[in-house]
Structures are given as C-alpha cells and as structure tokens.
Amino acid sequence: MKEDQNGKYIELNAFLKVVGVVGTGGQAKVLIRDGKVKVNGQIETRVTNKLRQGFIVKCENKEFTVNLDVLD
C-alpha cells in the first residue's frame, strides 16, 4: 500500500492480486485494459488507478469493497 497527499491508496492492479482475482500483475493488466473491471460503477482501464477506502471494484462477477485497514 502507498500513501500520497490525499492519504492511503492501493493501485488497481495490486488490489486484484491481493483479493485473488488474478495471480500475476500481467493477468491484472489484461483484465483492466480489456475493460473487464469496474470501479465505483465505471469501467476502469488505468492499470495503476488509485483505489481509496470504500471504493467498489467489480470483476469477473465478483464485487469487492476496498478496506485499506485490512490491507495494512
């Protein structure tokens, strides 16, 4: 997990690996770039999009709520 001036975040590709949707960063990139991932209801094609606490990620018929406290 990283932090910037707006607080903690995790990049989308890393999040998909952490929650077990993919096994590698390469697999995450393919899913994201193919438009198969939604963040807060919108298709997201930026591999390193910064996810913040409470964001909703949908991929492969699964939905995840970002909880940065658990990822610390």
Q: What is the residue extent of each domain of the chain?
A: 2-71
pTM for this model (two decimals): 0.90
Measure the CA–CA gap between 37 and 43, rounded to whole angstroms.
6
pLDDT band for position 66 (cuts 50, 70, 90): very high
Measure the CA–CA gap between 72 and 58, rounded to whole angstroms.
21
- Looking at residues 2-21, what average pLDDT do you find? 89
- The pLDDT tens digits of the residues spanning 15-30 come to 999 999 999 999 999 9
- The pLDDT tens digits of the residues spanning 40-57 come to 999 999 999 999 999 999
DSSP secondary structure, 5-25, as one string: TTEEEEEHHHHHHHTTS-SSH
CATH of domain 2-71: 3.10.290.10
Is pLDDT at 1 greater than 80 in this prediction?
A: no
